[in-house]
């Protein structure tokens, strides 16, 4: 993502959230077991799911929106969002590599 000048923001409530997923434009849903790290993507065996489903993406976002936030949780300032194109996500050389299984 750095190569494509995409800014990513992370929150820090270690004990509140363990979800590894994102809903994009209330249309696409990207879920999986992988931490978003080099080791998880390049070395580990992970399960990742990407779907073009407005119904599931909206349901996932609504689920995350309902998670209670504790008064002492610390977050980075909320950004309006980042634009990640469908072409990037589906590109075999770029985003789609997050979805590929390991090969021998």
Percentage of the chain modeled with pLDDT above 70:
54
Please indicate, yes or no, if residue 69 is contained in any of the structural domains. Answer: yes
Compare 80 and 24 and report the one with higher pLDDT.
24
Q: Give the range of the structural domain holding residue 77, as residue numbers without chain letter.
A: 2-98
Q: How many domains, the chain?
A: 1
Please indicate, yes or no, if residue 104 is contained in any of the structural domains. Answer: no
- Token readout for 30 is 């990207």
pLDDT at residue 59 in the model: 92
**Chain-wide mean pLDDT for the chain?**
72
pLDDT above 80 for 30: yes
Please indicate, yes or no, if residue 103 is contained in any of the structural domains. Answer: no
Please indicate, yes or no, if residue 7 is contained in any of the structural domains. Answer: yes
HSE (side-chain half, CA atoms, 13 Å) at 15: 3
Please indicate, yes or no, if residue 29 is contained in any of the structural domains. Answer: yes
Residue length of the chain: 104
pLDDT above 80 for 16: no
pLDDT tens readout for residues 61-91: 888 777 766 555 556 566 666 666 777 767 7
DSSP 14-32: TTT----EEEETTTEEEEE
């Amino acid at each position: 993502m750095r190569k494509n000048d995409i800014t990513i923001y992370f929150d820090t409530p270690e004990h509140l959230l363990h979800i590894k997923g994102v809903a994009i434009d209330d249309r696409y849903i990207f879920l999986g077991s992988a931490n978003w790290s080099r080791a998880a993507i390049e070395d580990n065996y992970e399960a990742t799911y990407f779907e073009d489903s407005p119904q599931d993406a909206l349901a996932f976002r609504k689920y995350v929106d309902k998670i209670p936030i504790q008064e002492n949780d610390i977050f980075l300032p909320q950004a309006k969002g980042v634009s990640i194109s469908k072409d990037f996500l589906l590109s075999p050389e770029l985003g789609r590599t997050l979805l590929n299984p390991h090969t021998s």
